[in-house]
Structure 1
Amino acid sequence: MKNIQARALVIATLILAASASAWAQSGQTAGAASGAPGATGMEASTAAPANTRKANRALRRQVYAALGKHKEIDAGNIGITAKGGAVTLNGTVKEASQVDQVAEIAKSVPGVISVTNKLTVEKPFGGM
């Protein structure tokens, strides 16, 4: 039993020493680590991905809204992903002419830098 307690104490000491060493090597002052004004700690690094995700979702919604203005296009079978201005279109459309039309509509949305078009024409069930 004492052997297990001794091992646990050694492991806890090693973890504490490693975390203290990592803290000392990070080069941050106590004020920066605590979130004081001018801090460049975790607050800044977690805010950027959240803002990027929001921007990507907003761009995706804008592309869906632009497609919604074209009643001849059924956007229900179209999936849109946006990442940093690059839009990818997946899914199916009813007519071959709509493949390029949807891509052009997506390109016309402000903020869209590029469009990857992976749309296909929907095949009728049981048809040839």
Structure 2
Amino acid sequence: MKTIKTLGLAVAALFVAMSTTTWCHADEAASSPSSAQGASTTAGSGAVATTGRKADRALRRKIYAAIGKYKEINAGDISVIAKDGAVTLNGTVTEATQISKVEAIARGVPGVTSVTNKLTVKKPFGGM
């Protein structure tokens, strides 16, 4: 019984030591100027991914703001997904004419490169 507990503690200590070492090396690579090509590529790709996500979120906000200017369209029923300028519209609108209108609004926002429109018309209660 004592052997099993000792072995478990040793394994736990090994995991803690390994994770601490990994965290230390990650901090060194991120904080120190690197001379190796691989280390600079790794640090740079993280910064690009963060910048890309920020740009995608900013583009989504711009599209929602543009849709919000049209009071007849309920932007709360529309979801916007933006990835590197490519926009996907999901959700529902109250009238069929609003589907193309929302797509045109999204295309008019600066930074949008393409629009995939998956909007549908919301059926009224009662199913008719």
- Residues 99 and 35 of structure 1, relative CA distance in 2, 3 Å threshold: same
Pairing 1:76–2:76 present? yes
Give yes or no for contact 1:35–1:43 (8 Å, CA) kept in 2. Answer: no
Match in the other structure for 2:22: none
Normalising by the residue count of structure 2, what TM-score does the alignment of the two structures yield? 0.72
**Runs (5+) with no aligned partner, structure 1:** 5-31
Match in the other structure for 1:114: 114
Pairing 1:37–2:43 present? no
- Residues 127 and 33 of structure 1, relative CA distance in 2, 3 Å threshold: closer
Runs of 4+ deviating beyond 6 Å: none
Task: Write out aligned runs for 1:10-49 (5 A).
Answer: 33=29, 35-37=31-33, 40=40, 42-49=42-49
Q: Tell me how far apart the structure 2 counterparts of residues 34 and 82 of structure 1 sit (CA, whole Å).
A: 28
- Residues 75 and 34 of structure 1, relative CA distance in 2, 3 Å threshold: closer
Give yes or no for contact 2:30–2:43 (8 Å, CA) kept in 1. Answer: no
Task: Write out aligned runs for 1:46-61 (5 A).
Answer: 46-61=46-61
Deviation, structure 1 residue 42: 3.9
**Runs (5+) with no aligned partner, structure 2:** 5-27
Taking only the aligned residue pairs, the percentage that are identical comes to: 60
CA RMSD of aligned residues (A): 3.6
Give yes or no for contact 2:29–2:43 (8 Å, CA) kept in 1. Answer: no
Give yes or no for contact 2:56–2:82 (8 Å, CA) kept in 1. Answer: yes
Deviation, structure 1 residue 48: 1.1
Q: Tell me how far apart the structure 1 counterparts of residues 29 and 120 of structure 2 sit (CA, whole Å).
A: 51
Deviations 1:28-85 (A, max 9, x none): xxxx947433551543221111111101000000000000111111111000000000
Give yes or no for contact 1:92–1:119 (8 Å, CA) kept in 2. Answer: yes
Task: Say how many residue pairs are matched.
Answer: 122
Larger Rg: 1 or 2?
Answer: 1
> Which SS does the other structure have where 2:124 is aligned?
coil
Match in the other structure for 2:20: none
Give yes or no for contact 1:35–1:41 (8 Å, CA) kept in 2. Answer: no
